[in-house]
């Protein structure tokens, strides 16, 4: 009788966890994105609605996500990822129901805020980092990022169709159902604390401020902030531009988005492959340049369909590329023992961009939208300039070493002198030592001699 090797069993477990988390992330983000292509059009029918409040209703979700990602990430470092993920999804479902039952813009804003309070994006990405080995972590993080990009483009196609058939209240009920599906998936398939092969209870050895300004992380925090600011601002103003300048109905928007989405995916794939096999930072720069170009093309006063098709094709290529690439780079850069808190900072940056992008688009909606696009283009250019000097991040492996009770804590100065050991942190509360290792440079014999064979790769 054939038995599976430990390596094949580990790979199967990694695939199962990664696919589960990508599904949860995608369902939840699909619920968020469904509003983007329609709310600036349909939100005007709500009682008390103004352009600024429409922008607030879109962006308030991001504000609460930004405020709570770090506390949720730190909480998950202490009590485990699974209970925090479940609690966040319950809040998301409750918020969707509140918004669906509201016919006033303020009620919708309250519901969206409650949805945003389920701030679990960072926790999900931290769990990927906990449970997937470094050899496959880049692809796992990319899959999470691609689930966001896929949810985004699917929402742009399906959102207008659902809105036409169900109305705004029905669309919120559809979002609530998506949240409930994500909750069921999480309940049945996210690892329970006893079965989790991670070090989820680790305490962060760095302050949040240190994580925010970390020399390898701050540019990535900035990147996800600007990417989602640009995306949200664009899709606050774009639906009205397509309707008023081209005379396209909402159902026609769906067909347009579907066509450019397919082209964008085809354009993104070779760039992702190049980033995974060679150097990722130059590919990141290409994505930023494409995003800036897309904003300029959309802002120019050319009111023809083919021009919008070209501009959106460039936009989707850039967005899908960056959404897939950034999480994998963050996973490489996170200091040892800080995954939950660091992913919280990263996700806070992402959703702060959603909030500010929504506000920017709402405030400038009355100008026709072009000014918001020009401002977003300028912000992307500044982002690109700040990326100069970013160095390539090595692919590192995390190893957890259990510490024997009653023995003195290890001398970190000694282990950090071993070739290939990049970082290390002792977590005495949990009785473990966490190391980050450059496997291409590691002196394995020296490490094994120092560890006495106690290291366990994770």
Q: Which pLDDT score, from 0 to 100, does residue 229 have?
A: 94
Q: Which residues contact 400 (CB under 8 A, 6 or more apart)?
A: 199, 432, 433, 434, 455, 456, 458
pTM above 0.75, yes or no: no
Number of alpha carbons in the 13 Å side-chain half-sphere of residue 330: 37
Q: Contact, 54 vs 372, CB < 8 A? A: no
Residue 311 and residue 436: Cα distance in Å, rounded?
Answer: 42
List phi, psi (to 5°) of 432: -135, 160
- Angle in degrees, CA 399, 400, 402, rounded to 5: 150
Q: Which pLDDT score, from 0 to 100, does residue 94 have?
A: 95
List phi, psi (to 5°) of 399: -130, 135
Q: Which pLDDT score, from 0 to 100, does residue 428 have?
A: 60
Give the chain as a 3 state SS string: CCCCCHHHHHHHHHHHHHHHHHHHHHHHHHHHHCCCCCHHHHHHHCECCCHHHHHHHHHHHHHHHHHHHHHHHHHHHHHCHHHHHHHHHHHHHHHHHHHHCCCEHHHHHHHHHHHHCCCCHHHHHHHHHHHCCHHHHHHHHHHHHHHHHHHHHHHHHHHHHHHHHHHHHHHHHHHHHHHHHHHHHHHHHCCCHHHCCCCCCCCCCCCHHHHHCCCCCHHHHHHHHHHHHHHHHHHHHHHHHHHHHHCCCHHHHHHHHHHHHHHHHHHHHHHHHHHHHCCCHHHHHHHHHHHHHHHHHHHCCCCCHHHHHHHHHHHHHHHHHHHHHHHHHHHHHCCCCCHHHHHHHHHHHHHHHHHHHHHHHHHCHHHCCHHHHHHHHHHHHHHHHHCCCCCCCCCEEEEEEECCCCCCCCCHHHHCCCCCEEEEEEECCCCEEEEEEECCCCCHHHHHHHHCCCCEEC
**Cα 105 versus chain centre, distance:** 27
Q: What are the structural domains of the chain?
A: 7-194+206-386 (1.20.1250.20), 396-457 (3.30.70)
Q: Which pLDDT score, from 0 to 100, does residue 52 have?
A: 82
Per-position pLDDT tens, the chain of length 458? 444 443 444 466 677 777 888 888 888 888 878 887 788 778 888 898 888 888 888 888 888 988 888 788 778 877 878 899 999 999 999 999 999 999 999 999 999 999 989 888 878 877 876 777 655 666 676 677 677 767 877 887 888 888 888 888 999 999 999 999 999 999 988 876 533 333 333 444 556 667 767 777 888 889 999 999 998 889 888 888 888 888 887 778 878 888 887 888 788 778 877 776 778 888 888 999 999 999 999 999 888 899 999 999 999 899 888 887 887 787 777 765 566 667 778 878 888 898 898 888 888 876 667 888 999 999 999 999 998 878 776 666 666 777 666 555 566 667 767 776 766 666 665 566 767 776 667 777 777 777 664 444 44
């Amino acid at each position: 009788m054939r038995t599976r090797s430990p390596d094949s069993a580990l790979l199967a477990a990694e695939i199962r966890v990664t696919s589960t988390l990508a599904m949860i992330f995608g369902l939840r983000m699909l619920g968020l994105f469904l509003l983007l292509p329609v709310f600036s059009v349909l939100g005007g029918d709500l009682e008390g609605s103004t352009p600024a409040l429409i922008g607030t209703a879109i962006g308030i979700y991001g504000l609460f996500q930004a405020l709570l990602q770090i506390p949720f990430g730190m909480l998950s470092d202490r009590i485990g990822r699974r209970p925090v993920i479940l609690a966040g999804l319950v809040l998301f479902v409750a918020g969707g129901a509140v918004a669906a039952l509201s016919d006033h813009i303020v009620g919708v804003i309250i519901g969206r805020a409650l949805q945003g309070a389920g701030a679990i994006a960072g926790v999900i990405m931290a769990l990927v980092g906990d449970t997937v080995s470094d050899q496959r972590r880049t692809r796992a993080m990319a899959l999470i990022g691609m689930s966001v990009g896929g949810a985004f483009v699917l929402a742009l196609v399906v959102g207008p169709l659902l809105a036409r058939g169900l109305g705004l209240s029905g669309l919120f009920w559809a979002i609530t159902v998506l949240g409930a599906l994500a909750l069921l998936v999480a309940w049945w398939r996210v690892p329970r604390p006893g079965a989790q092969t991670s070090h989820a209870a680790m305490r962060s050895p760095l302050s949040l401020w240190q994580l925010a300004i970390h020399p390898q992380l701050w540019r990535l925090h900035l990147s996800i902030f600007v990417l989602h600011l640009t995306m949200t601002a664009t899709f606050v103003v774009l639906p009205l531009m397509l309707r008023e300048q081209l005379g396209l109905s909402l159902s026609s928007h769906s067909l347009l988005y579907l066509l450019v989405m397919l082209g964008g995916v085809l354009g993104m794939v070779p760039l992702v492959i190049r980033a995974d096999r060679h150097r990722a930072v130059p590919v990141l720069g290409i994505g930023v340049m494409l995003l800036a170009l897309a904003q300029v093309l959309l802002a120019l006063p050319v009111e023809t369909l083919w021009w919008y098709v070209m501009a959106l094709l460039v936009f989707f290529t850039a967005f899908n590329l960056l959404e897939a690439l950034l999480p994998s780079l963050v996973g490489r850069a996170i200091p040892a023992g800080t995954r939950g808190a660091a992913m919280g900072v990263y996700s806070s940056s992402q959703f702060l961009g959603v909030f500010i992008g929504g506000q920017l688009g709402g405030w400038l909606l009355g100008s026709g939208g072009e000014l918001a696009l020009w401002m977003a283009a300028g912000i992307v250019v500044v982002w690109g300039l700040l990326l100069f000097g970013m160095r390539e991040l090595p692919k590192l492996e995390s190893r957890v070493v259990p510490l024997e009770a009653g023995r003195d804590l290890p001398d970190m100065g000694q282990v950090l002198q071993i070739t290939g050991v990049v970082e290390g942190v002792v977590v005495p509360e949990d009785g473990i030592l966490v190391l980050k290792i450059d496997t291409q440079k590691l002196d394995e014999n020296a490490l094994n001699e120092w560890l006495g064979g106690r290291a366990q790769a994770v």
